[in-house]
Amino acid sequence: MSFTRRSILAGGAAALVSALPVRAERILPATGPRVVVLGGGWGGLTAAKYIRLLDPGIEVVLIERRAAFHSCPISNWVIGHLRTVDEITHSYAALSERHGIRILHTEVEAVDVDAKAVVTADGVVAGDRLILSPGVAFDYTGIDGWNEAAARRFPAAWSPGPETALLRARLAELPSGGRVALTIPPSPYRCPPGPYERISLIAAYLKQHKPGSTITVLDANQKIVSKGKIFQAAWDELYPGIVDYRPDSPLVQVDASAGTVSSDFDDVAADVANVIPSQRASRLLHDAGLVPDGATWAPVDPYGFTSTLAADIHIVGDATDQTTVGKVPKSGFIANSMGKVAARAAVAALTGNEASPPSLINTCYSLVSPEEGASVGAVYGYDSETGLLQVRPGSSGVSSQRSATVALQAWDWARAIWQDMLG
């Protein structure tokens, strides 16, 4: 018998997930209290490691498709030829060798909400609690002409890996006087990799290596979303005649054969085009009934990042709904903080203790050139009256100007937080 989301939802979302595991063998039986973590990115990695640090008596199974960790933050530096793919790629080995985390590299097929289990290509892994950090899915609906040829011609390079290397290579092959196009979706979206940093580093590469080349930007947003004055000043001063920025210009059509991307106002022909699509919570969360029908993101209680639609399940990272969390960015640093909060909440629940109020920190570094950068940061605390995370008074700020010091800090921060998650 086959199941479809439409047919099973007629009987309730729980029916979908409870029906799936009967077709797969249960594997990795638990020997004690266990948390199963889905996703080896910033949120999932942090949660897995910190559960073991907080209580080594709790078993952790981490399920991740990729054999190695690839960092979204700093991936723009690879595209801009400042770093290599190897420099943003790291091993998961220390998590198992130093912290005793069981790691399963396999494809995930579904989440079983009732059984608190993850259905994988290798079998079903169950626990006492789940922490889900599956990231975002790309949404190309509304873009006329999008097909397999367009996907090959206009890579997103928004999840670090092969497409990052592909976009880097295409820029290297661009002739002098060549044309680059980049499209930005409506906010919110995963960031980093930030689109405005990417524009800056591509422009810097063109200026140095591809004289006469330009980059045209179609931004669906009405203005630069973050650090707008700093980016605009940098483009005006460092890249005059190179960056052609067009706000309020959502992408509506592509033509893979002609190499064009179009808004309602302009058709832009490009030798290299980077289409960054709209984003939403992972399909796995939608299929599991953890995202309401018609919604885009997964609602959670930010006190412990537990799903508002299912018990004993935490959701962290970019897939969470800002309307239920608070206006925090979908950044790597925030996912790292969410992972720590969820880890504390899961350990408290399994040991019969009360979780402490959550506190999150974010700093987002952006290069505007290979030598200079800017940053924005804030600390978020839990507001018991609204049930949301709010910026703590006096804790937020943005760079007043670009500087070489911030560019150096960005690389130091990346290495430190990679160690925090993976070391």
Mark which of 259, 279, 299 sits at the end of a domain: 279
Q: What is the pTM of this model?
A: 0.93
| Confidence band of 24 (pLDDT split at 50, 70, 90) | confident
Mark which of 279, 307, 332 sits at the end of a domain: 279
Residue 23 is predicted with a pLDDT of 55
CATH number at residue 268: 3.50.50.60
Residue 5 has pLDDT above 50, yes or no: no
Task: Tell me the mean pLDDT in the region 309-338.
Answer: 97
As a whole-number percent, the residues of the chain with pLDDT over 90 amount to 94
Question: Is 242 inside any structural domain?
Answer: yes
What CA–CA distance (Å, rounded) separates 152 from 80? 20
Do residues 53 and 175 make contact, with C-beta atoms less than 8 angstroms apart?
no
Task: Tell me the mean pLDDT in the region 278-287.
Answer: 97
* CA of residue 260 relative to chain centroid, distance: 27
Mark which of 356, 376, 400 sits at the end of a domain: 356
Do residues 355 and 80 make contact, with C-beta atoms less than 8 angstroms apart?
no
**Residues 192, 311: one domain?**
no
**Residues 222, 319: one domain?**
no
**Count H helices, E strands: the chain?**
13, 25
**Residues 123, 223: one domain?**
no
Residue 183 is predicted with a pLDDT of 98
Question: What's the angle, vertex CA 391, arms to CA 385 and CA 395, rounded to 5?
Answer: 140
Do residues 75 and 160 make contact, with C-beta atoms less than 8 angstroms apart?
yes
**Residues 156, 190: one domain?**
yes
Per-position DSSP letters for 209-271, written without gaps between them: HSTT-EEEEEESSSS-SSSHHHHHHHHHHH-TTTEEEESS----EEETTTTEEE-SS-EEE-S
What CA–CA distance (Å, rounded) separates 143 from 151? 12
Residue 317 is predicted with a pLDDT of 98
**Residues 145, 249: one domain?**
yes
How many domains would you assign to the chain? Answer: 2
Q: Which domain holds residue 236?
A: 141-279
Of 422, 340, 343, 348, residue with least CA distance to 380? 340
**Residues 40, 17: one domain?**
yes
Who contacts 143 (Cβ-Cβ below 8 Å, separation ≥6)?
Answer: 251, 252, 253, 254, 275, 277
Q: What is the residue type of 110?
A: A
Task: Tell me the mean pLDDT in the region 267-273.
Answer: 98
Order across the sheet with 260-262: list the strands: 253-255, 260-262, 267-269
Question: Is 320 inside any structural domain?
Answer: yes
DSSP bridge partners of 69: 90
**Residues 273, 292: one domain?**
no
Residue 14 has pLDDT above 90, yes or no: no
Neighbour-count burial of 113, counting CB atoms closer than 10 A to its CB (0-12 exposed, 13-18 middle, 19+ buried): buried
**Residues 114, 186: one domain?**
no
Residue 10 has pLDDT above 70, yes or no: no
Residue 219 has pLDDT above 70, yes or no: yes
Q: What is the pLDDT of residues 371-402, one digit of tens each?
A: 999 999 999 999 999 999 999 999 999 999 99
